[in-house]
């Protein structure tokens, strides 16, 4: 006869001895799933309220259990969740404490449910909050972007392709590009939230239950739009977590690109921005250094967030219906990604809000590199009716000449320009300034200061910063 003293109190009846030390350790999810305690309590309260209302447990037991759950929650709030590996996870930890507090009635809480629908419900609730938080954080980042873009709708900087000076743009336009990206990220979280907002509670272990439960009631109590429609799918679906991670990964790529802009702009050869002291560090050996560590970590964290997505995708790949214990591994990557993402959003929001843009350096850089060469070509097309390809060629000769003399395009004399093509006259100089160049790009979504101001105004309304005109 085996020693039953170490056997699990929940399913110990079938087992002769306790689990080996390795089994205990590999099985325990409490070290991480204790983060679900609020959701676990909320779902249990919704469940027991329904059990009482349906007459599946007596009303007085239901009330006793609900009161006990409140007490457990108060203890967790005050002292944290105790970590006892023998109790495996948050669900058994809570139920066991409930039993200590209220006695045998606690055993009725688990009627008509399983840890499989329980964890699916808890985790959905957690992920739903994470989606809401991401959405909110990203909105703050958009507010910062829009406010700086409004300040700098007319500040001229070089626009790049291949990181080579291409055409002058406005800093406001550049920042608003990230407003658009972050807007798509917000909508990805919002879309995912709509898709995931169904309650798996009541799917029980995998097949549903014979008890006369009301899944619509528990769904409503937990803020879901309704119950899920297939019990097997309900306990094995982790699409909501993957949707979250996909949105987080995509978002982290955007944050990483924004971080990279700041890293480049803060470098001495560029000198486009002075980073806020609050988000930089010094060097222990080089006293002159101010390092963009926060931005670099945002860039680095995106790698980890994408890794979290990959981890869960691989975990889920090839799992047959319904629940498998592999799925316990769904939580660490989601928790990790969520905290990395929240930090990254906060860091970039601070960076955007507090950076000192060195608009004089930006403007000077925009004057270099023949950024208005396209404007000369466009002028030839418009004023002299020259086909664009030919205009491009003529402009190339002008750039070559200016380059050989080490001067800007608009420093070439009209004689020099006429020598290249006699159709050029001195009205051309008006087109060659960086101001004229950006002002000319007034097509919808273009970089012209007026266009940027228009988009900023729309954004301010969309963000609720202003009433619509």
Check 20, 187, 267, 283 and give the catalytic one.
283
Q: What is the DSSP string of 243-262?
A: HHHHHHHHHHHHHHHHHHHH
Of the pair 47, 115, the CB lying nearest ligand ARG is at 115
CB of 16 to ligand ARG, least distance (A): 19
C-alpha 65/C-alpha 67 separation (Å) is 5
Contact 274, 239 (CB under 8 A): no
User: Quick check: 135 binds ligand ARG (CB under 6 A)?
Assistant: no
Which residue reads 């700041």 in tokens? 262
Beta bridge partners, 281, equal 291
Q: Which is nearer to ligand ARG, 326 or 425 (CB)?
A: 326
Residue number, 90 or 373, with CB nearest to ligand ARG? 90
Backbone angles phi, psi at 75, to 5 degrees: -65, -45
Q: Does 94 bind ligand ARG (CB under 6 A)?
A: no
Among 7, 8, 19, 29, the residue binding ligand ARG under the rule CB under 6 A is: 29
Of residues 140 through 179, those in contact with ligand ARG by CB under 6 A are none
- Specify whether the CB–CB gap between 227 and 216 falls below 8 A: yes
203 binds ligand ARG (CB under 6 A): no
Using CB under 6 A as the binding rule, whether residue 340 contacts ligand ARG is answered as no
Identify the bridge partners of residue 165 per DSSP, sorted by sequence position. 160
Q: Which residues, 209 to 268, sit near ligand ARG by CB under 6 A?
A: none
> What does the per-residue mask of binding to ligand ARG show for 69-88, with x meaning CB under 6 A?
--------------------
How far, in Å, CA of 196 to CA of 124, rounded? 8
Give the interface segment with ligand ARG, choosing from 112-120, 240-248, 349-357, 395-403 (CB under 6 A). 112-120
- The beta strand positions in 197-325, using DSSP E, are 273-274
Q: How far apart are CA 275 and CA 327, in angstroms?
A: 42
- Cα torsion angle, 439, 442, 446, 448, sign: positive
If one asks whether residue 95 binds ligand ARG (CB under 6 A), the answer comes out as no
**Does the annotation count 254 as an active-site position?**
no
Q: Closer to ligand ARG at the Cβ: 323 or 370?
A: 323
Smallest separation, CB 113 to ligand ARG (Å): 11
> What residues contact residue 273 under an 8 Å CB cut-off, 6+ apart?
262, 265, 266, 355, 356, 357, 358
Task: List, in order, residues 6 or more apart from 151 with CB less than 8 Å away.
Answer: 172
The tokens describing 311, both together, are: 């981890």
In whole angstroms, how close is the CB of 322 to ligand ARG at the nearest point? 10
Q: Which of 5, 162, 278, 413 is catalytic?
A: 162
Distance between the two ends of the chain, CA-based, in angstroms?
82
Q: Binding residue for ligand ARG (CB under 6 A) from 244, 272, 323, 370? A: 323
Q: Name the residue among 459, 277, 271 with its Cα closest to residue 354.
A: 277
CB 74: neighbour CB atoms within 10 A? 10
Q: Kindly state the smallest distance separating residue 278's Cβ from ligand ARG, in Å.
A: 39
* Binding letters toward ligand ARG, positions 31-70, x by CB under 6 A: --x-------------------------------------
Structure tokens at 440: 């000319």
Tell me if residue 162 is catalytic: yes
Of 266, 253, 257, which is closest to residue 292 (Cα–Cα)?
A: 266
Strand partners, 203: none
**Shortest reach from residue 154's CB to ligand ARG, in Å:** 55
- Shortest CB 76 distance to ligand ARG, Å: 17
Instruction: Name the segment binding ligand ARG (CB under 6 A); options: 135-143, 214-222, 284-292, 323-331.
Output: 323-331
Catalytic site residues? 162, 283
> Which residues of this chain interact with ligand ARG, rule CB under 6 A?
29, 33, 89, 115-116, 119, 323, 325, 327-328
């Amino acid at each position: 006869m085996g020693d039953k003293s170490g056997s699990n109190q929940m399913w110990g009846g079938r087992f002769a001895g306790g689990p080996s030390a390795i089994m205990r350790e590999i099985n325990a999810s409490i070290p991480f799933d204790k983060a679900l305690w609020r959701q676990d309590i909320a779902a249990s309260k919704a469940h027991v309220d329904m059990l009482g209302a349906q007459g599946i447990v007596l009303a007085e037991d239901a009330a006793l259990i609900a009161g006990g759950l409140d007490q457990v929650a108060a203890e967790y709030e005050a002292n944290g969740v105790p970590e006892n590996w023998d109790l495996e996870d948050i669900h058994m930890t809570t139920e066991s404490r409930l039993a200590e507090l209220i006695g045998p009635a606690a055993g009725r809480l688990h009627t008509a449910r399983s840890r499989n629908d329980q964890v699916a419900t808890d985790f959905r609730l957690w992920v739903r909050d994470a989606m809401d938080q991401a959405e909110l954080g990203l909105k703050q980042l958009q507010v910062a972007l829009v406010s700086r873009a409004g300040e700098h709708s007319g500040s001229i900087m070089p626009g790049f392709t291949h990181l080579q000076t291409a055409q002058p743009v406005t800093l406001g336009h550049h920042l608003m590009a990230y407003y658009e990206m972050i807007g798509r990220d917000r909508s990805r979280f919002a879309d995912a939230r709509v898709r995931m907002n169904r309650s798996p509670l009541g799917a029980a272990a995998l097949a549903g239950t014979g008890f006369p439960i009301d899944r619509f009631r528990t769904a409503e109590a937990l803020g879901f739009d309704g119950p899920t429609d297939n019990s097997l799918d309900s306990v094995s679906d982790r699409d909501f977590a993957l949707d979250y991670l996909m949105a987080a990964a995509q978002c982290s790529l955007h944050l990483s690109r924004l971080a990279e802009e700041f890293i480049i702009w803060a470098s001495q050869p560029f000198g486009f921005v002075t980073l806020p002291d609050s988000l930089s560090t010094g060097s222990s050996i080089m006293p002159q250094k101010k390092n963009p560590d926060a931005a670099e970590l945002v860039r680095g964290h995106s790698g980890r967030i994408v890794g979290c997505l990959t981890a869960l995708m691989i975990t889920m790949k090839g799992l047959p219906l319904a629940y498998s214990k592999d799925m316990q591994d769904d939580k660490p990557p989601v928790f990790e990604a969520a905290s990395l993402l929240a930090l990254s959003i906060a860091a970039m929001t601070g960076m955007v809000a507090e950076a000192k843009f060195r608009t004089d350096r930006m403007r000077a850089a925009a004057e270099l590199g023949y950024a208005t060469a396209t404007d000369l070509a466009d002028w030839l097309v418009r004023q002299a009716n020259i086909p664009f390809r030919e205009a491009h060629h003529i402009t190339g000769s002008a750039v070559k000449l200016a380059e050989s003399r080490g001067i800007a395009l608009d420093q070439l004399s009209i004689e020099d320009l006429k020598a290249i093509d006699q159709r050029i006259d001195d009205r051309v100089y008006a087109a060659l300034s960086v101001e004229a160049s950006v002002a000319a790009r007034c097509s919808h979504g273009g970089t012209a200061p007026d266009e940027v101001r228009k988009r900023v105004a729309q954004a301010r309304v969309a963000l609720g910063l202003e009433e619509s005109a």
